[in-house]
Each structure stands twice: as structure tokens, then as C-alpha cells.
């Protein structure tokens, strides 16, 4: 069976940018749809079920941060945000919104294509696979991409789930920072340490984990992170 082309939703209210980006993405063989405002973007995402959403932060009506928050209620698409305000990256990437990557305007279309390819290469759990023995109170089902804490379902983004799954495969063992970047972002993708730390902080918040007295995720300074072993 022939594989369908990846679906990309471009959300930006500047037609020249949409036209430029669409041209580059279509040359990669991807199916591209655009939206000019937040409400249109949410409607298109529900209709199309995109693989990746390229989302400008500065939108008329609903801004990109609110669009991303609402998108996460029904979609596990990877979200790459475009922002001209680098000082707000922490707020955009997480700790409540859940974007997966970002680019600061102005950006190179070739860099955007490379980032999307990295997103699409990220490993997803195969059906029926199961992580290692998680600590008491934490349930990780890779096949169904389901996480529960004390019996309550926790909503994670695709990247957050992949990060937790990578740690769960060797509970009690420290996973170096670079190994996590390679497993979750892809070996060819150059991601900075700050991006990893933001997503770990977001994951901890959703799990209800206190970094000062961790129940699940431990930081090993200068090395990486580990999921605590089941007692």
C-alpha cells in the first residue's frame, strides 16, 4: 500500500510567508493546507488531522498560544511555533501549552523543512510494546500511548510521551542528555539543552512530580535523567 503524504497545516496571517513556506513544503511531497487565523486553524485541524502544525504566535483573534492549548485537547500533531519574541520561548514551549519545537522569525525555509523532517522522524511506539517497570503509581502503556498517575489519565503531547517512554525503557538507569535528544528528537537534529529541560519540566508538572523530592523523574546533574525504579 502506498504511504500517504504527510499532512502539514500552516497557520499564519501573512500571505507572503504562507506562500513561501507552502512552496518549500510541497516540493518535499507533503500535503499542505493553510489557515489565516486561530479559529480557522482549529477547524482545519479537526477536519484534516495533520501530522505537523506550523503555528505563528501572532495571530488575529486567538493568538498562537491559545490555539496550541485548544489544539492539544483533540490532536497529537507535532506543533512547531513561529515567534518573533525569543524571550517568551519558555511560555510558548510549555509549561502549559505543549509545543514541540520553535523557530524565531525571520527564519530560513530550509531550516523549517529540516525541523519538520526531524519531527516526522521521531520514533513512535509500535502497537503492543510495553515499557519497563515504572515506579509505583505510574502506568505507561506504549501500545495505546496512555499514561496514568494513581489511576488518573494524564494528557501528554506526542513529544512528552516519547520522552517519558524513552526513560521508562531502562528504569533506574541514567539516560544521558544527548541520548535523550537522539532518541526523542532524532540523531540528525541539533536541539539545545534548554529545549530538553523545558520539556522535562513540562512533563514533571503534568505528572505532579516535585523536582526537589522526585517521585518519578530524577535529575543527575551534568549527566541526564532517569525514571525511578519500581520498588
pLDDT digits (tens, 9 = 90+) for 190-227: 666 688 888 999 999 999 998 889 999 999 988 899 99
pLDDT value, residue 122: 65
Report the distance separating Cα 68 and Cα 54, nearest Å. 10
- Regarding whether 99 and 158 lie in a shared domain, the answer is no
99 with 147, same domain: the answer is no
Q: Which of 57, 87, 121 is the last residue of a domain?
A: 121
Question: Do 184 and 95 belong together in one domain?
Answer: no
Q: Which of 12-21, 59-68, 162-171, 183-192 has the lowest mean pLDDT?
A: 183-192
| pLDDT at res. 135 | 81
Query: Given 89, 121, 153, which residue is the final one in a domain?
Result: 121
Secondary structure of residue 125 in the 3-state scheme: coil
Domain presence at residue 15? yes
User: Would 1 be classed as within a structural domain?
Assistant: no
Domain boundary, last residue among 95, 121, 147: 121
- The helix (run of H) or strand (run of E) holding residue 160 is helix 158-168
Residue 143, all three cell numbers: 501500545
Instruction: Tell whether 11 and 117 lie within a shared domain.
Output: yes
Per the prediction, the chain carries an average pLDDT of 83
**Confidence label for 164 from pLDDT (cuts 50, 70 and 90):** very high
Residue 103: closest CA among 12, 212, 42:
12
Tell whether 131 is covered by a domain.
Answer: no
In terms of domains, do 100 and 152 share one? no
At 2, is the pLDDT very low, low, confident or very high (cuts 50, 70, 90)?
low
User: Would 147 be classed as within a structural domain?
Assistant: yes
Residue 55 inside a domain? The answer is yes
Asked if residue 151 and residue 116 are part of one domain, the reply reads: no
Contact 99, 81 (CB under 8 A): yes
Q: What is the DSSP letter of 174?
A: P
Q: Which of 101, 61, 109, 110 is nearest to 83 (CA)?
A: 101
**pLDDT over 50 (residue 1):** no
- pLDDT per position as a tens digit, 16-71: 999 999 999 999 999 999 999 999 999 999 999 899 999 998 898 888 888 988 88
pLDDT at position 11 over 70: yes
What CATH number did the domain enclosing 22 receive? Answer: 3.40.50.2300
Residue 208 lies in a domain: yes
Given a contact cutoff of 8 angstroms between Cβ atoms, the answer to whether 160 and 140 are in contact is no
CATH number of the domain that residue 210 is part of: 1.10.10.10
157 and 85 in a single domain? The answer is no
Report the domain count for the chain: 2
User: What cell was used for 26?
Assistant: 510541497
Q: How many CB atoms lie within 10 A of CB 54?
A: 27
193-207 and 158-168 helices, crossing angle to 10° = 90
β-strands 146-149, 138-141: how paired? antiparallel
Do both 31 and 96 map to the same domain?
yes
Do 143 and 205 belong together in one domain? yes
| Mean pLDDT score, 68-90 | 77
Is residue 92 located within the same domain as residue 146?
A: no
pLDDT in tens, 90-143: 555 543 466 788 888 888 999 999 999 988 876 443 333 344 466 888 988 776
When pLDDT is averaged across residues 182-188 and rounded to a whole number, the result is: 73
Distance, C-alpha 177 to centroid of its chain: 17
Looking at residue 53, its pLDDT comes to: 95
Residue 126, in any domain of the structure: no
Specify whether 199 is located in the same domain as 148. yes
Q: Are residues 145 and 109 in the same domain?
A: no
Say what the pTM is. Answer: 0.58
Q: What is the pLDDT of residue 76?
A: 79
Domain that holds residue 65: 7-121
Q: What's residue 218's pLDDT?
A: 93
The reply to whether 161 falls in a domain is: yes
| Per-residue model confidence (pLDDT) at position 173 | 84
Amino acid at each position: 500500500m502506498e504511504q500517504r503524504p504527510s499532512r502539514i497545516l500552516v497557520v499564519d496571517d501573512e500571505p507572503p510567508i504562507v506562500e513561501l513556506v507552502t512552496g518549500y513544503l510541497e516540493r518535499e511531497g507533503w500535503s499542505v493546507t493553510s489557515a489565516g487565523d486561530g479559529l480557522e486553524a482549529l477547524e482545519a485541524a479537526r477536519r484534516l488531522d495533520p501530522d505537523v502544525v506550523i503555528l505563528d504566535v501572532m495571530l488575529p483573534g486567538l493568538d498562537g498560544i491559545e490555539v496550541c492549548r485548544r489544539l492539544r485537547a483533540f490532536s497529537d500533531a507535532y506543533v512547531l511555533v513561529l515567534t518573533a519574541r525569543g524571550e517568551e520561548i519558555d511560555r510558548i514551549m510549555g509549561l502549559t501549552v505543549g509545543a514541540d519545537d520553535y523557530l524565531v522569525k525571520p527564519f530560513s525555509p530550509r531550516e523549517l523543512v529540516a525541523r519538520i523532517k526531524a519531527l516526522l522522524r521521531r520514533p513512535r511506539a509500535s502497537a503492543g510494546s510495553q515499557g519497563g517497570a515504572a515506579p509505583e503509581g505510574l502506568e505507561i502503556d506504549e501500545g495505546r500511548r496512555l499514561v496514568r498517575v494513581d489511576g488518573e489519565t494524564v494528557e501528554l503531547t506526542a513529544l512528552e510521551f516519547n520522552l517519558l517512554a524513552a526513560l521508562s525503557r531502562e528504569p533506574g538507569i541514567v539516560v544521558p542528555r544527548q541520548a535523550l535528544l537522539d532518541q526523542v528528537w532524532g540523531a540528525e537534529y541539533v536541539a539545545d539543552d534548554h529545549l530538553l529541560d523545558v520539556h522535562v519540566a513540562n512533563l514533571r508538572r503534568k505528572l505532579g512530580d516535585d523536582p526537589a523530592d522526585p517521585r518519578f523523574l530524577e535529575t543527575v546533574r551534568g549527566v541526564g535523567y532517569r525514571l525511578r525504579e519500581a520498588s
